[in-house]
Amino acid sequence: MRVNLGHLLKQPMGESVAYKVAEDPIDPRGDNADLLDADIRAIDADVKATHTNPGAYLQGDARARVSQQCVRCLRPIESEVEATFAEQYYATLTVDSGAPMREPPPDSKTIGPDFNVDLTPLLREEVILATPQAPLCRPDCRGLCQVCGKDLNESPHDHEAPADDRWAALRGFKAGDG
């Protein structure tokens, strides 16, 4: 979703504008299609842009549904993710005259010459950072059997422990052969 901050940057310092981003499911041909690259299937975000001295301060909350895989049983799951964010965007030109502004810090986010900002990269980054790294389909997921690979949630079972050949000589002592 692209927003034009030109009108905000013409307002006095401290003025704010609210934006809403909501899409469920994400349209692969829409403005937020880049969210699908991060397996984000739905997004609902409230963003507040405030005019600051160097440009605009964007802050807000995002709620997203992310496609993942359970780390224990490998089933596909969807996780609900919530992220809170705040990011300073630096204007590169003044709105009134188009004169260049001072150079923004390295690696900072900037407002381009058209005064448009794409919110999709910001939302994608924040949701990725808030996404669980080891998602579970349920807290008591038993995972996959280490011997046969079957899902232990569907068919709990045990296997006889495999014999370790390094202990073969000692097994004879235990049996009374040695």
Task: Report the residue count for the chain.
Answer: 178
Predicted TM-score (pTM) of the model is 0.81
Digit-coded pLDDT (tens) for 5-47? 999 999 999 999 999 999 999 999 999 999 999 999 999 999 9
Burial status of residue 34 (CB atoms within 10 A of its CB: 0-12, 13-18, 19 or more) = middle
| The pLDDT value given to residue 169 | 76
pLDDT recorded at residue 174: 64
Residue 98: per-residue pLDDT: 84
Q: Give pLDDT, residue 100.
A: 87
Q: Are residues 103 and 175 in the same domain?
A: no
Tell me the CA distances in angstroms from 8 to 16, 73, 88, 142, one per residue in order. 7, 49, 14, 53
How many CA atoms within 13 Å lie on the side-chain side of 123?
Answer: 36
Q: Are residues 29 and 53 in the same domain?
A: yes
> What pLDDT band is residue 97 in, cutting at 50, 70 and 90?
confident
d(CA 123, CA 36): 12
Do 77 and 157 reside in the same domain of the chain? no
Residues 97 and 175 in one domain: no
Q: Residue 166 pLDDT > 70, yes or no?
A: yes
Percent share of the chain, pLDDT over 90: 80
Q: Are 99 and 61 part of one and the same domain?
A: yes
**123, 102: one domain:** yes
Pair (151, 174) in one structural domain: yes
pLDDT at 75: 97
pLDDT for 178 beyond 70: no
Question: 132 and 149 share a domain?
Answer: no
Please state, in angstroms and rounded to a whole number, the distance separating the CA atoms of residues 111 and 115: 5
Q: Total domain count for the chain?
A: 2
Position 162 scores a pLDDT of 67
Query: What is the residue range of 95's domain?
Result: 2-138
pLDDT at 165: 80
- How far apart, in whole angstroms, are the C-alpha atoms of residue 149 and residue 146? 6
Tell me what pLDDT residue 175 has.
60
Asked whether residue 66 falls in the same domain as residue 152, the answer is no
Paired strand residues for 21? 45
Nearest partner of 30 among 104, 97, 120, judged by Cα: 120
6 and 37 in a common domain: yes
- Tens of pLDDT, residues 41-72: 999 999 999 999 999 999 999 999 999 999 99
Q: Are residues 22 and 83 in the same domain?
A: yes
Q: Same domain for 11 and 72?
A: yes
**177 has a pLDDT exceeding 70:** no
φ/ψ (deg, to 5) at 21 = -120, 120
List, for residues 104-137, the tens digit of each pLDDT value: 899 999 998 999 999 999 999 999 999 999 999 9
